[in-house]
Amino acid sequence: MNILEIVLTVVHILIAIALIAIVLLQSGKSAGLGGSIAGGAETFFGKNKGRTIDALLSKITAFVAIAFLITSLVLQVLLKQ
Count CB-CB contacts under 10 A for residue 15. 19
How high is the pLDDT of residue 47? 59
Mean pLDDT, all residues of the chain: 82
- In three-state secondary structure terms, 19 is helix
Answer positive or negative: Cα dihedral of 2, 70, 57, 29: negative
Domain ranges of the chain: 1-27+54-81
For 24-43, how does the pLDDT look when each residue is reduced to its tens digit (9 = 90+)?
Answer: 998 777 655 555 555 555 55
For 5-23, how does the pLDDT look when each residue is reduced to its tens digit (9 = 90+)?
Answer: 999 999 999 999 999 999 9
